[in-house]
Amino acid sequence: MDLNAFERKVRSDGVRFVRFLYCDPGGIIRGKAVHIDKLVERIRGGIGLTVAMPAMNMLDQLQPVEGLGPVGEIRLVPDLESYASLPYAPNSAAMMANMVTLGREPWGACPRGFLERMIARARQAGVTIQAAFEPEWTLAQRKDDGSHIPADESLCFSTVGWETSVELIDDIVAALEAQGIPVEQFYPELGHGQQELSIRHAAALRAADNHIRYRDTVRAVARQHGFVASLAPKPFADQAGNGCHIHLSAWDLGGERNLMASGTKPNELSEFGRHWIAGVLKHLPGLVALTASSYNSYRRLKPRMWSSAFRCWGLDNREASVRIASVLWDEARPSLNMELKPSDNSNNPYLALGGVIAAGLDGVAKKLDPGDPMTVDPGSLSESDRSRLGIHRLPESLAAAVDELERDEMLMEALGDLLGRTFTVVKRSEAAAFGAEDQAFELAHHFYKF
């Protein structure tokens, strides 16, 4: 791309600072900004970052990870395709950045690089991925003592909820659209103050980039309206959890044919689709470390919360961890997709989606079979019925999920040595830090991080 023409375009947007953003392995969005006068140089040469940063946990406690000490630098190199000016921040724009070594190689600890590798792995198998993150979040008000209360007591899908949030949602949608992110649906969700505003699916890398922008946009615009938007999995212990289900479909390389849908019965899973979800289910115990990756995530993953607590799949089954939703009447074949429920906004979307792709591809390569769909609430079955059917509880804590991830050779190999070690060390440190404190500490420290 002609960088001078790019700079002129950025100037014409009235931009003074361009943020180079990344999401760290722990799920926190961080970045550095360059002034417009130095933009071209920093696009060419990146912005320097200490190699230690990915070893920072969500309490900004630096963890000992070999190779991520105080000595050494990498560069944040932006993806120009991801440029957008930020409607909620004066004279500001953002681009998603990759972590690149001084030798100009992709760096092993880069989460966005991991998703790119999994997209390439899929292409090699003749597959392209479309995905969407389906975020729920809680609108709250901050009290003088620093605590938070839900912004309303609206019931599920109740029009009362619109009274609280209509101006805010309108502004958020305008801000998303200005960044090229099309919105799909909105409704006040089940919990007090809970909102669900979904965005359209996109190619995998763009879908993850969009979700980063979405998180930043929702938080910032809510703040401008005097609210606090919490994207934590369970910001209030007695209210519905905030999911961020991942929807995914796999297509041929031309993007013409949805491989998940049967050729003869467009509303049914193909053999490919069955293998894919079998792979996801096989790796799910370790995969949830990547998709539900905060300590607070496991307060949400409980039976009878529609968030899924058991490893199984089902058709329109809201308690199944992998749900195949009934297809759209007018777009049967293209709309067939899998929904992964044990996923929330505290994950790193590049790691979460990359992990799902790796697991699905493994199922296809090994021609795994997912068995019969679960037709009832798995939580309503007796323990012995569940074990007869091979249905197991998902990990009940972050520490247990990280143990499972470490046991999962395929996922650890896909992450690669440096990213795998960094992620597990950081997450273990979070498990230990929150495990040593009480519920109030956990809720307060997750409330406004994602």
Q: Which positions touch ligand GLU (CB under 6 A)?
A: 136, 240-241, 243, 300, 305-307, 318, 341
Rounded to the nearest whole angstrom, what is the least distance from the CB of residue 49 to ligand GLU in the complex?
34
Residue nearest to Mg ion (CB): 196
Q: Do 391 and 399 meet the contact criterion of CB atoms below 8 Å apart?
A: no
H-helix or E-strand spanning residue 278: helix 271-291
Neighbours of 21 (CB within 10 A): 22
Report the C-alpha gap between 265 and 256 in whole angstroms. Answer: 17
Chain contacts with Mg ion (rule: CB under 5 A): 196
When the beta carbons of 192 and 206 are compared against ligand GLU, the nearer one is 192
404's contact among Mg ion, ligand GLU, none, with CB below 5 to 8 A by partner kind, is none
Q: Do 196 and 186 meet the contact criterion of CB atoms below 8 Å apart?
A: yes
The separation between CA 45 and the C-alpha centre of its own chain, rounded to angstroms, equals 29
Structure tokens at 266: 């467009």
Rounded to the nearest whole angstrom, what is the least distance from the CB of residue 320 to ligand GLU in the complex?
11
Structure tokens at 85: 């000016």
Q: Do 242 and 136 meet the contact criterion of CB atoms below 8 Å apart?
A: yes
Report the C-alpha gap between 155 and 87 in whole angstroms. Answer: 31
Residue nearest to ligand GLU (CB): 243
Rounded to the nearest whole angstrom, what is the least distance from the CB of residue 322 to ligand GLU in the complex?
13
Rounded to the nearest whole angstrom, what is the least distance from the CB of residue 443 to ligand GLU in the complex?
16
300's contact among ligand GLU, Mg ion, none, with CB below 5 to 8 A by partner kind, is ligand GLU
H-helix or E-strand spanning residue 216: helix 204-224
Neighbours of 81 (CB within 10 A): 11
93's contact among Mg ion, ligand GLU, none, with CB below 5 to 8 A by partner kind, is none
Q: Do 38 and 439 meet the contact criterion of CB atoms below 8 Å apart?
A: no
Listed residue (71, 350, 347) closest to 205, CA to CA: 350
292's contact among ligand GLU, Mg ion, none, with CB below 5 to 8 A by partner kind, is none
The single-letter code of the amino acid at 136 is E
348's contact among ligand GLU, Mg ion, none, with CB below 5 to 8 A by partner kind, is none
When the beta carbons of 136 and 362 are compared against ligand GLU, the nearer one is 136
Report the C-alpha gap between 430 and 314 in whole angstroms. Answer: 32
Report the C-alpha gap between 262 and 275 in whole angstroms. Answer: 12
306's contact among ligand GLU, Mg ion, none, with CB below 5 to 8 A by partner kind, is ligand GLU
Rounded to the nearest whole angstrom, what is the least distance from the CB of residue 77 to ligand GLU in the complex?
35
Which positions ≥6 away from 418 have C-beta within 8 Å?
67, 107, 108, 109
When the beta carbons of 306 and 448 are compared against Mg ion, the nearer one is 306
When the beta carbons of 137 and 227 are compared against Mg ion, the nearer one is 137
Rounded to the nearest whole angstrom, what is the least distance from the CB of residue 197 to ligand GLU in the complex?
12
When the beta carbons of 82 and 194 are compared against Mg ion, the nearer one is 194
Rounded to the nearest whole angstrom, what is the least distance from the CB of residue 122 to ligand GLU in the complex?
26
341's contact among Mg ion, ligand GLU, none, with CB below 5 to 8 A by partner kind, is ligand GLU
When the beta carbons of 157 and 441 are compared against Mg ion, the nearer one is 157
When the beta carbons of 194 and 422 are compared against ligand GLU, the nearer one is 194
Rounded to the nearest whole angstrom, what is the least distance from the CB of residue 166 to Mg ion in the complex?
19
- Taken as a whole, the chain contains a residue count of 450
When the beta carbons of 16 and 318 are compared against ligand GLU, the nearer one is 318
When the beta carbons of 247 and 421 are compared against ligand GLU, the nearer one is 247
The single-letter code of the amino acid at 336 is L
Report the C-alpha gap between 268 and 273 in whole angstroms. Answer: 9
Listed residue (99, 177, 36) closest to 348, CA to CA: 99
307's contact among Mg ion, ligand GLU, none, with CB below 5 to 8 A by partner kind, is ligand GLU
Report the C-alpha gap between 52 and 63 in whole angstroms. Answer: 9
268's contact among Mg ion, ligand GLU, none, with CB below 5 to 8 A by partner kind, is none
Rounded to the nearest whole angstrom, what is the least distance from the CB of residue 354 to ligand GLU in the complex?
21
